[in-house]
Amino acid sequence: MSPGHRVCGSSRVVAVVAGLVGLAGIAGCGGGDDAPSDAPVDAVFDAPIDTPAACTGTALTGEVVDWDATSAKFCGVFNATLTQRGATAVTDTTNPNGRFELCVARQAQTVIDVAFSASPSECAVPQDVYPVPGVFVAEQGVVESGVLLSARAMTAMRRATMFTQVGAAYSAAQAQLVVHVIGTTGAVTLAAAHATTQAFTGTTWQAGETGSDVFFANVAPGATQVTIGSKTVNVSLDAGVFTYLTIAAP
């Protein structure tokens, strides 16, 4: 999703002089009493080291945002650690706007583990943690297209209300899948058994299979297939984590 940026006084100046003043300018961009520190900014603080020119593999850019983040009320998840599975040296930590960059190996599918900070997030009121780890499944074609991979993280309190909406209790013995759709949205289906599907309309979650993000709760773990229109993606789901798949609509 594209964040609706909150412009704080010196953010655009910081973008120009970041190399001179480092993080000092960032602190000055903190919000007031009701402005979350996880909120977006106009500049990406850590200039990419794995740019397409420098990266010998594939440059991957993504974001982790709060479960209910919208364009009007955007909130990125700060300080989450992302590590390519099987390549622990390939790692990054999310910026305050939830953005991250990795230089991953060229392969059909890349798996990236997401560990959330133990500190409560200001995206939630009251502040709360993201207790369930995540996994990005990145298709090579999607990564090479340069689109932004996107994930939505659910706090402990939000999990309780969301699963009430789903109509089933959260099960750590099962998998959770969130599909982010790039392009024209259409019905997203999953071959594996799961609870009632929920879709994000851009402002709210509701029962359905069509939206910018589609949530499949309590999925049977293991290999399965995600389909939108004429496109099908094979994915393996782990129990006890949220799996995030970005898929380009055909």
pLDDT, tens digit, 9 for 90 and up, residues 128-165: 999 999 999 999 999 999 999 999 999 999 999 999 99
pLDDT, tens digit, 9 for 90 and up, residues 178-206: 999 999 899 999 999 999 999 999 999 99
36 part of a folded domain = no
Bridge partners for 59 per DSSP: 103
Residue 59: the pLDDT is: 95
On whether the CB atoms of residues 162 and 152 are closer than 8 A, the answer is: no
Q: What is the pLDDT averaged over residues 18-30?
A: 40
231 part of a folded domain = yes
Using 50, 70 and 90 to split pLDDT, how confident is the model at 34? very low
Residue 54: the pLDDT is: 83
6 part of a folded domain = no
- State phi, psi for 99 to the nearest 5 degrees: -80, 150
Q: What is the pLDDT averaged over residues 234-238?
A: 98
In whole angstroms, give the CA distance from residue 223 to residue 238. 9
Domain carrying residue 93: 47-248
pTM of the predicted model, to two decimals? Answer: 0.79
Q: What is the pLDDT averaged over residues 109-124?
A: 97
pLDDT, tens digit, 9 for 90 and up, residues 204-221: 999 999 999 999 999 999
pLDDT, tens digit, 9 for 90 and up, residues 40-94: 444 444 444 445 558 989 999 999 999 999 999 999 999 999 999 999 999 999 9
35 part of a folded domain = no
120 part of a folded domain = yes
Residue 53: the pLDDT is: 59
Confidence check: pLDDT of 17 > 50: no
> Amino acid identity, residue 145?
S
Contacts of 154 (CB under 8 A, 6+ apart): 67, 130, 132, 162, 242
Confidence check: pLDDT of 18 > 90: no
32 part of a folded domain = no
Confidence check: pLDDT of 232 > 50: yes
On whether the CB atoms of residues 151 and 212 are closer than 8 A, the answer is: no
The residue with tokens 């010998």 is 56
8 part of a folded domain = no
- Identify the residue with better confidence: 126 or 14: 126
User: Which candidate, 220, 217, 174, 219, places its Cα nearest to that of 198?
Assistant: 217
**Number of domains comprising the chain:** 1
217 part of a folded domain = yes
In whole angstroms, give the CA distance from residue 60 to residue 162. 30
Residue 83: its H or E element: strand 81-84
